[in-house]
Structure 1
Amino acid sequence: MRRDGPPPVTDLAACRPQTRGSAFGGSTPGGPLHAAVEKGQSRLVFLAAMFSLAFLVIAGRLVDVTLMAGPSEAPRAQAQPRPVETERADIVDRNGTLLATSLPTPSLYANPKVVPDAADAARRLAPILTGTTEAELRTKLQEDRSFVWLKRQLTPRQQHDVIRLGIPGLEFQRDERRIYPQGRLVAHVVGFSGIDHTGLQGVEKTLDNRIRGNREPIELSLDLRVQHVLREELQRTVTEFKAIGAAGLVMDAHTGEVVALVSLPDYDANSPGTANEQTLFNRVTLGVYEMGSVFKVLTAAMALDTGKITLSSGYDASRPIQISRFSISDYKGKNRWLSVPEIIKYSSNIGAAKMAMDVGINQQRAFFEKLGFLKAPQLELPELGFPLVPNPWREINAMTIAFGHGISVTPLHVVAAEAAMVNGGVLRKPTLLKYPYGTHPDGSRVIKAKTSDEIRRLMRLVVTDGSGKKANVPGYLIGGKTGSAEKAAGNGYRRKALLSSFVGAFPMNDPQYVILVMIDEPQGQIQSQGYATGGWVAAPLFGRIVERIAPLVGVAPIDEDSPQIRRDMVVQASAPARSPNAR
């Protein structure tokens, strides 16, 4: 029955005034309320302790999974990833600038036996793991195995997104990713390594054993500043003359250290999967070419060194040489007798061929063998081309080889040989590794010091008075030789497909660096008056490179008109005489 008022008072004690201590019904020691309060407090303490313990267990497990997990642990159901490879050493240039390094990254694997729903997991993972498909992931997660890789080398964002999915059976392992901070700039030198941390290209492959587990950086001979200038100027020329590619090399004339090496087109070493056969191809060390008239310097050195001729010797270049069905002629020939300096200055094929015949076939072959032209070049790269040489080596071969046709070598061959021509006559092994300061590596003498001195003067003459005038930069005493070679095709040559090149050194009174630039199939332009030859394409390119890199490598300008320099560079030759050896 409903009551409208308060219940009747039946206990007189309830009418007594209450004190603060009994506001909740009384809590005197030993009383029932006091006991209840103590019991509640004990329960709260116990629950807090249990929550704290659980938190510590979870936190410990998180630390264990994210930081301490390693190949020695056995994940659930014996799902064991492969051991992590040892980190690879950094690669740096000669000044310590970073070219390659390794960064820690997570890799994702799974125990398919623990994953509750393979199809659902694959559907949720596919948008996160770029480069994989839902079908591929589903197939892996349905395998009857305890371990499968799902994705190697995740980004931090990918790892975060996978963790948020909360799918059982997924685990991470510490991995490493190889990074190339310079991208394309040194791709053909440094190369790249694979996902399993094995070198696949460039010095990453050749020096793989040295790079693995080495805690000290691998110091290369490259100077990244010079490398940048070389690539930029080559690319500018390729674009300007609508060429299909280019090659460039800068070498220390006295040590053989490669200071810069560029092959175009190139690729980004951070994304080797996007490279193709053309961009991976190293034109400097793997490509073999008929290099054309740059060989005339070698022919002159060979002939002078044997004593068969002198700078005062001369040859009749008034008409082409007829041999069998072949004819050897000059491009814009002078059609007269030419001295040896004039043969080099005007780039006479006829004069070079006659010089070679005065030396003889056997001696010519022996000379080029001594220069290393009959075998693959030596360098710390796996991409090395084997020369194409005539067999048998006949009279017609000797004549055409004298001016750079009938033998195909790499640009690296040519630069190493030209360094010997100007450094006093010593051939040194090219290297991509930095030598300690002041090191003078051993080499083999290929020409006399006197011959080298004469060759320096001849190369300077080409730039001051000959086909290489556009390479000249006041103050740097540049010397060199142009080359324009038609590209071989089948049994003949492609007359409009040229390799335009220039090889030279500076300063010629004491050469410090040898440089070769080569442009593949340049097209004549208005600014070159329609020409695509070495003198119009490669010579000005060479000059721009020297002008930019000389201050970087510490070569100061000199007074080219000083009496000492004039004495050092004068070609001491009289008028050509019609001697028995001057044909």
Structure 2
Amino acid sequence: MFSRKSQKTGSSPEPKRERRAAVRHGDRMNATPDNKSRFVIAMVLFVGVYGAIGVRLVTWGTVPDARTMSFRAADQIMASRPDLVDRNGSVLATDIRVASLFAEPRKIVDANEASELLLSVLPDLDPKWLYNSLSSEAGFLWLRRELTPSQQQAILDLGVPGIGFRTEKRRFYPGGTTAGFVTGHVNVDNQGIAGMEKYIDDQGYLALQNSGLAVDAELEPVQLSIDLRVQHILRDELSEAMTRYRSIAAGGVVMNAKTGEILAMTSLPDYDPNDPRQALEKDRMNRTSAGLYEMGSTFKSFTSAMALDTGKVNLLSKFDASRPIRIGGHQISDFHGKKRVLTLEEVFIYSSNIGSAKEAELVGIEGHQAFLTRLGLLSRLQTELPEVATPTQPKNWKLVNSITASYGHGISTTPLQTAVAAGALMNGGKLIPPTFLPRTEEQAAAVATQVITKSASDDMRYLFRLNVEDQRGSGNYAEIDGYRVGGKTGTANKVVNGRYSDNKKFNAFLSAFPMDDPQYIVLIYIDEPQPEPGKYYATAGMNTAPTAGNVIRRAAPLLNVKPDLGPTGETLLVSY
């Protein structure tokens, strides 16, 4: 018994437990650095693995596949374009919703059957392309943009799996061809590529559309200076003139002489912006602002104005037109020459080439070039419409160039520029840049440039009116009772294979009304007109002058120009 007690109470076992405890404590102390390393490694691996996964997800999210790109494009197409309206609020262009057809080939069970079914509704699709597309591994592809409602319903009735529709916006032009060259058109992605549609995009709308800020946005309409009623009249009269005179083209412009606003502008043959493919046809170009022509005797208006502006001559000054001018191996003569000395007034109404050449000689070569440049006839026109051509002129002006330019040969400019320059001759001598947006007279005055004296402008108004009301003038057929029309004809021989043709002409009539205080400029041109049945001549006085008269007769009341019928008219009104 004692011995067991002495074992329990002995001192020898305690030091051993202390040593073991110390050893275990020491192991923990020595093990701490290894655990910390393993912890750091684990954290690095954790961050690395999840970082790699995150990078991969970001990469996959930013790589554009066909479906992603197509839906992004469709979202852009859903962007609202602002309506285009005329000066009276009539709609020229607006957005409508349409359906577009897409496919997800991976979900299509039988590409051959799906192709046959779709071709039964859309027979103009390429069968080979359609089958290859539907049997591919693509995730998304467009099959047809802008379907009609009947086409959409017919495809829905087919019940083809993997086929769907996406609602998009399509531009619609209610007037069709009426103002196509002014409004322009958009592409399949609803982006402006011509006319005022392109101008709007270039002013910042395209950036708004690409940023997604224009989706389902309520945008204020863009008002143009165009008067849809006058636009219709202009196009209607030109269309009839093309038929009557069997011409290859025609065009014209109606401009406010006080503000530079374009109220109407067209060129025939034209196109329907609802079908932009028509614009690609060879003869469908905007000749009025993008076509270059020798404007013929209408340029004599600027030559006479130039001479009067010098202050060296007046309406009664005389120029010897008794003999042709010979220069550079060419002879310059008059169409219906009087073969005598003519006053400046007679030079204008008889449309004397010889007299105009003498007027140009009076000013000099440098002065002549500078004057035409000052009127904007030799440089590219600055306006909102993108389709504007740059005029051509002789590289080095010589005497022969100045002489031929005096009666409208050797220099090619646009009909629109000719009308704009004429505005300066009629409104007191101020050249006003043209605009397709509304502008007040105060705003016009801020951008106007005085290019000729007021007295020269007054004389030109007199000459314009005289050329229409006097039986000796070439513009008689433009006379419209009550509206005091004035103008100048131009019959230019066209250049064919480097030589002037005797039977192909470009005719124009440059006019204004009412001549006591001209408010509007009207320019009409007809390309290669033929004589009317029973008539021998096809000069401008026989075709462009009466066409301009018809436009003025119909448009003047809409433009609030009151007719002045004189004492006879007042008597009739009193009797009524």
| TM-score band w.r.t. shorter chain | 0.7 to 0.9
Query: Which residue among 433, 455, 462 is the counterpart of 2:460?
Result: 455
Superposition deviation, residue 235 in structure 1: 1.0
Residue equivalent to 1:120: 113
**Offset of residue 307 of structure 1:** 1.4
Percent of matched pairs sharing the same residue = 44
Deviation of 1:77 after TM superposition, in Å, equals 9.8
Q: CA deviation at 1:134?
A: 2.8
Query: CA distance change for structure 1 residues 328 and 247 in 2, over 3 Å: closer, same or farther?
Result: same
- Alpha-carbon distance in structure 1 between the residues aligned to 2:137 and 2:326: 77
Contact 2:305 2:425 in 1 (8 A): yes
Equivalent of residue 483 in structure 2, options 450, 454, 476? 476
Aligned to 1:37: none
Deviations 1:265-297 (A, max 9, x none): 111211122444334311101111111111111
Taking the TM superposition and a 5 Å limit, the aligned residue runs for 1:117-516 are: 117-129=110-122, 131-210=124-203, 213=214, 215-435=219-439, 439-441=443-445, 442-465=447-470, 466-516=473-523
CA shift at 1:130, angstroms?
A: 5.1
Distance apart, 1:75 and its partner CA? 12
Which position in structure 1 is the counterpart of 2:551? Answer: 545
User: Distance in 2 between the 1:171 and 1:536 partners?
Assistant: 60
Amino acid at match of 2:392: L
Letter in 1 for 2:476: K
Give the whole-Å Cα distance in 2 for the aligned partners of 1:258 and 1:310: 32
Separation of aligned partners in 1, 2:489 and 2:70: 62
Spell out, residue by residue over 1:382-409, the C-alpha distance to the aligned partner (whole angstroms, 9 max, x if none). 2211111011100001011011111010
Residue 439 (structure 1) shift: 4.5
In the superposition, relative to structure 1, how do residues 76 and 315 fare at CA in structure 2: closer, same or farther (>3 Å)? closer
The residue matched to 1:551 in structure 2 has which SS? helix
Please say if 1:517 is aligned against 2:514: no
Provide structure 2 residue ranges, at least 5 long, that are not aligned to the other structure: 1-63, 207-213, 569-576
* Counterpart residue type for residue 127 of structure 2: E
Give the letter aligned to residue 332 of structure 1: H
Q: Where does residue 39 of structure 2 map in the other structure?
A: none
Q: Counterpart of 1:166 in structure 2: which amino acid? A: G
**CA deviations over 1:538-579 (Å, ceiling 9, x no partner):** 1111111111101011000114579xxxxxxxxxxxxxxxxx
Q: 1:381, 1:270 → 2: CA distance? A: 19
Larger deviation, residues 414-423 vs 164-173: 164-173
Mapped to 2, the partners of 1:209 and 1:143 lie a distance apart of: 38
Distance of aligned partners of 1:80 and 1:326 in 2 relative to their CA distance in 1, 3 Å threshold: closer
Q: Aligned to 1:153, what secondary structure does the other structure show? A: strand
CA RMSD of aligned residues (A): 2.1
Amino acid at match of 1:117: D
Deviation at 1:78, TM superposition (A): 8.1
Going from structure 1 to structure 2, the CA distance change for 1:163 and 1:398 (only over 3 Å counts) comes to: same
Q: Could you say which residue in structure 2 is the equivalent of 1:88?
A: 81
Judging by fraction of residues, say which structure has more helix. 2
Q: Is the 8 A contact 1:299 1:352 kept in 2?
A: yes
Cα distance 1:138–1:333, how it changes in 2: closer, same or farther (>3 A)? same
Give the residue type in structure 1 aligned to 2:84.
I
Structure 1: distance between partners of 2:567 and 2:292: 40
Task: Answer yes or no: is the 8 Å Cα contact 2:278–2:284 preserved in 1.
Answer: no
The aligned amino acid for 1:457 is Y
Contact 2:259 2:441 in 1 (8 A): no
TM normalised by structure 1 equals: 0.81
Work out the CA distance in 2 between the residues paired with 1:364 and 1:460.
25
Unaligned regions of 5+ residues in structure 1, if any?
A: 1-73, 563-583
CA distance in 1, matches of 2:362, 2:66: 82
Query: Which residue identity lines up with residue 150 of structure 2 in the other structure?
Result: R
Q: CA deviation at 1:309?
A: 1.4
Contact 2:66/2:138 (<8 A) preserved:
no
Distance 1:96 1:437, change over 3 A: farther
Q: Displacement, 1:438? A: 6.5
Displacement, 1:93?
A: 0.9
SS at match of 1:207: helix
- For the 8 Å contact 1:81–1:109, the answer to whether it is kept is no
Residue 429 of structure 1 deviates from its aligned partner by 0.6
Distance 1:79 1:378, change over 3 A: closer
Q: State how far apart, in whole Å, the 1-side matches of 2:120 and 2:312 are.
A: 76
Confirm or deny: 8 A CA contact 2:391 2:411 kept in the other structure. yes
Query: Would the aligned equivalents of 1:122 and 1:135 in 2 still touch at CA under 8 Å?
Result: no
Paired residue secondary structure (2:266): strand
Decide whether the 8 Å contact of 2:432 with 2:444 is kept in 1. Answer: no
Give the conservation status (yes or no) of the 8 Å contact 1:249–1:262.
yes
Matching residue's letter, 2:461: R
- Give a deviation string over 1:476-525, Cα, whole Å, max 9, x none: 11110010000012331111001111001000111010000001001112
Q: What SS class does the counterpart of residue 384 from structure 2 fall into?
A: coil
**Conserved in 2, the CA contact under 8 Å of 1:79 and 1:111?**
no
